[in-house]
Amino acid sequence: MQDKLIIKYIKKRNEKGMEILIDQYNSLITSVVRYHLGTLINYEEECVSDTLLAIWDNIDGFEKDKNSFKNWICAIAKYKSIDYKRKYLNKIESSILDEETPYIDKNLLHIEIQEELNETLNFLSKDDEEIFRRYYLEDESIVEIAHTKKLAISSIHSKLSRGKAKIRKSLLKEDGK
Protein backbone atom coordinates (compact mmCIF):
# COMPACT_ATOMS: atom_id res chain seq x y z
CA MET A 1 0.00 0.00 0.00
CA GLN A 2 2.82 2.36 0.95
CA ASP A 3 4.55 1.67 -2.38
CA LYS A 4 1.45 2.71 -4.36
CA LEU A 5 1.36 5.98 -2.46
CA ILE A 6 5.06 6.63 -3.08
CA ILE A 7 4.68 5.93 -6.78
CA LYS A 8 1.56 8.07 -7.04
CA TYR A 9 3.22 11.06 -5.34
CA ILE A 10 6.44 10.81 -7.33
CA LYS A 11 4.56 10.52 -10.63
CA LYS A 12 2.72 13.72 -9.69
CA ARG A 13 6.11 15.29 -8.79
CA ASN A 14 5.02 15.70 -5.18
CA GLU A 15 8.07 15.71 -2.88
CA LYS A 16 6.07 13.94 -0.20
CA GLY A 17 6.62 10.77 -2.25
CA MET A 18 10.39 11.14 -1.89
CA GLU A 19 10.05 11.71 1.84
CA ILE A 20 8.09 8.48 2.23
CA LEU A 21 10.51 6.66 -0.10
CA ILE A 22 13.49 7.79 1.97
CA ASP A 23 11.79 6.85 5.24
CA GLN A 24 10.91 3.40 3.96
CA TYR A 25 13.80 2.46 1.67
CA ASN A 26 16.88 4.55 2.51
CA SER A 27 18.54 1.81 4.57
CA LEU A 28 17.89 -0.77 1.82
CA ILE A 29 19.28 1.53 -0.88
CA THR A 30 22.32 2.33 1.27
CA SER A 31 23.05 -1.34 1.91
CA VAL A 32 22.78 -2.22 -1.80
CA VAL A 33 25.07 0.69 -2.70
CA ARG A 34 27.53 -0.20 0.06
CA TYR A 35 27.65 -3.82 -1.06
CA HIS A 36 28.27 -2.99 -4.72
CA LEU A 37 30.64 -0.06 -4.17
CA GLY A 38 32.84 -2.18 -1.95
CA THR A 39 35.91 -0.20 -1.01
CA LEU A 40 34.71 3.06 -2.57
CA ILE A 41 33.01 4.17 0.66
CA ASN A 42 33.69 7.85 -0.01
CA TYR A 43 31.21 7.73 -2.90
CA GLU A 44 28.42 6.04 -0.94
CA GLU A 45 26.42 9.12 0.04
CA GLU A 46 26.63 10.64 -3.44
CA CYS A 47 25.65 7.32 -5.05
CA VAL A 48 22.62 6.97 -2.75
CA SER A 49 21.57 10.51 -3.68
CA ASP A 50 21.95 9.73 -7.38
CA THR A 51 19.91 6.57 -6.90
CA LEU A 52 17.10 8.57 -5.32
CA LEU A 53 17.29 11.09 -8.17
CA ALA A 54 17.17 8.24 -10.71
CA ILE A 55 14.04 6.88 -9.03
CA TRP A 56 12.46 10.35 -9.22
CA ASP A 57 13.45 10.84 -12.86
CA ASN A 58 12.54 7.33 -14.04
CA ILE A 59 9.41 6.54 -12.05
CA ASP A 60 7.45 6.18 -15.30
CA GLY A 61 9.75 3.27 -16.18
CA PHE A 62 8.51 1.23 -13.23
CA GLU A 63 6.16 -1.53 -14.36
CA LYS A 64 4.31 -3.19 -11.48
CA ASP A 65 3.45 -6.19 -13.67
CA LYS A 66 7.12 -7.04 -14.20
CA ASN A 67 8.56 -6.62 -10.71
CA SER A 68 8.05 -5.24 -7.24
CA PHE A 69 8.86 -1.64 -6.44
CA LYS A 70 11.43 -2.81 -3.89
CA ASN A 71 13.27 -4.94 -6.47
CA TRP A 72 13.15 -2.12 -9.02
CA ILE A 73 14.75 0.23 -6.49
CA CYS A 74 17.45 -2.35 -5.69
CA ALA A 75 18.27 -2.75 -9.38
CA ILE A 76 18.65 1.03 -9.80
CA ALA A 77 20.93 1.18 -6.74
CA LYS A 78 23.05 -1.67 -8.10
CA TYR A 79 23.49 -0.08 -11.52
CA LYS A 80 24.27 3.34 -10.01
CA SER A 81 26.97 1.70 -7.88
CA ILE A 82 28.50 0.03 -10.91
CA ASP A 83 28.45 3.40 -12.71
CA TYR A 84 30.35 4.92 -9.80
CA LYS A 85 32.99 2.20 -10.01
CA ARG A 86 33.40 2.95 -13.71
CA LYS A 87 33.66 6.70 -13.04
CA TYR A 88 36.33 6.03 -10.42
CA LEU A 89 38.29 3.88 -12.88
CA ASN A 90 38.06 6.62 -15.48
CA LYS A 91 39.46 9.07 -12.92
CA ILE A 92 42.37 6.73 -12.25
CA GLU A 93 43.03 6.20 -15.93
CA SER A 94 42.82 9.93 -16.61
CA SER A 95 45.09 10.60 -13.62
CA ILE A 96 42.80 13.32 -12.28
CA LEU A 97 42.64 12.05 -8.74
CA ASP A 98 42.76 14.81 -6.18
CA GLU A 99 43.97 14.65 -2.58
CA GLU A 100 40.43 13.90 -1.36
CA THR A 101 40.04 10.86 -3.58
CA PRO A 102 41.37 7.80 -1.78
CA TYR A 103 43.53 5.51 -3.87
CA ILE A 104 42.15 2.08 -4.55
CA ASP A 105 43.97 -0.60 -6.47
CA LYS A 106 42.95 -0.08 -10.08
CA ASN A 107 43.47 -3.74 -11.01
CA LEU A 108 41.35 -4.95 -8.12
CA LEU A 109 38.55 -2.59 -9.11
CA HIS A 110 38.78 -3.74 -12.74
CA ILE A 111 38.50 -7.33 -11.55
CA GLU A 112 35.47 -6.52 -9.35
CA ILE A 113 33.67 -4.76 -12.21
CA GLN A 114 34.53 -7.54 -14.66
CA GLU A 115 33.23 -10.18 -12.23
CA GLU A 116 29.95 -8.30 -11.74
CA LEU A 117 29.59 -7.80 -15.47
CA ASN A 118 30.31 -11.48 -16.21
CA GLU A 119 27.84 -12.52 -13.52
CA THR A 120 25.19 -10.26 -15.05
CA LEU A 121 25.82 -11.36 -18.65
CA ASN A 122 26.05 -15.02 -17.62
CA PHE A 123 22.31 -15.37 -18.24
CA LEU A 124 22.73 -14.76 -21.97
CA SER A 125 23.85 -17.09 -24.74
CA LYS A 126 27.44 -16.53 -25.94
CA ASP A 127 26.15 -14.93 -29.14
CA ASP A 128 23.82 -12.55 -27.27
CA GLU A 129 26.55 -11.75 -24.74
CA GLU A 130 28.87 -10.76 -27.60
CA ILE A 131 26.18 -8.47 -29.05
CA PHE A 132 25.60 -6.90 -25.61
CA ARG A 133 29.30 -6.27 -25.07
CA ARG A 134 29.78 -4.77 -28.51
CA TYR A 135 26.73 -2.51 -28.26
CA TYR A 136 26.79 -1.43 -24.61
CA LEU A 137 30.48 -1.62 -23.72
CA GLU A 138 32.29 -1.01 -26.98
CA ASP A 139 29.76 1.51 -28.32
CA GLU A 140 29.43 -0.23 -31.66
CA SER A 141 26.36 0.74 -33.64
CA ILE A 142 23.58 -1.72 -34.27
CA VAL A 143 24.22 -1.35 -37.99
CA GLU A 144 27.89 -2.37 -37.56
CA ILE A 145 26.98 -5.35 -35.41
CA ALA A 146 24.25 -6.47 -37.82
CA HIS A 147 26.69 -6.19 -40.72
CA THR A 148 29.47 -8.23 -39.08
CA LYS A 149 27.07 -10.83 -37.64
CA LYS A 150 25.21 -10.99 -40.98
CA LEU A 151 21.88 -10.41 -39.26
CA ALA A 152 19.03 -8.02 -39.85
CA ILE A 153 19.03 -4.83 -37.79
CA SER A 154 15.67 -5.85 -36.36
CA SER A 155 17.25 -9.13 -35.15
CA ILE A 156 19.90 -7.20 -33.23
CA HIS A 157 17.21 -4.99 -31.67
CA SER A 158 15.25 -8.11 -30.70
CA LYS A 159 18.31 -9.81 -29.19
CA LEU A 160 19.13 -6.72 -27.15
CA SER A 161 15.55 -6.36 -25.98
CA ARG A 162 15.18 -10.04 -25.04
CA GLY A 163 18.60 -9.97 -23.40
CA LYS A 164 17.66 -6.99 -21.24
CA ALA A 165 14.51 -8.80 -20.18
CA LYS A 166 16.50 -11.93 -19.24
CA ILE A 167 19.03 -9.89 -17.27
CA ARG A 168 16.29 -7.90 -15.53
CA LYS A 169 14.49 -11.11 -14.58
CA SER A 170 17.65 -12.73 -13.27
CA LEU A 171 18.62 -9.64 -11.26
CA LEU A 172 15.20 -9.40 -9.72
CA LYS A 173 15.40 -13.05 -8.64
CA GLU A 174 18.88 -12.36 -7.24
CA ASP A 175 17.84 -9.21 -5.35
CA GLY A 176 14.63 -10.81 -4.11
CA LYS A 177 16.40 -13.91 -2.74
What's 15's domain CATH number?
1.10.1740.10
Measured between alpha carbons, how far is residue 109 from residues 30, 34, 45, 105, 171 in Å? 20, 15, 19, 6, 21
132 shares its domain with 117: no
Instruction: Give the pLDDT confidence score for residue 177 in this predicted structure.
Output: 46
The pLDDT assigned to 164 comes to 81
Are residues 145 and 115 part of one domain? no
Per this entry, what is the length of the chain?
177
Identify whether residues 102 and 173 lie together within a single domain. Answer: no
| pLDDT (0 to 100) of residue 150 | 93
Q: Say what the pLDDT of residue 132 is.
A: 84
**Cβ-proximal residues to 161 (8 Å cutoff; 6+ apart), any chain:** none
Calpha distance 21→5 (Å, rounded): 9
Our count of domains for the chain comes to: 2
Whether residues 112 and 149 share a domain: the answer is: no
Main-chain dihedrals φ then ψ at residue 40, nearest 5 degrees: -85, 50
Both 116 and 134 in a single domain? no
Mean pLDDT per segment of 10 residues, for the chain of length 177 residues?
Answer: 90 93 93 85 88 92 86 90 80 55 57 73 85 81 91 89 80 58
Same-domain pairing of 100 and 25: yes
- Give residue 156's domain range: 125-177
Q: Do 28 and 110 share a domain, yes or no?
A: yes
- 81 Cβ partners below 8 Å, 6+ apart? 32, 33, 35, 36, 37, 47
What is the pLDDT at residue 121?
79
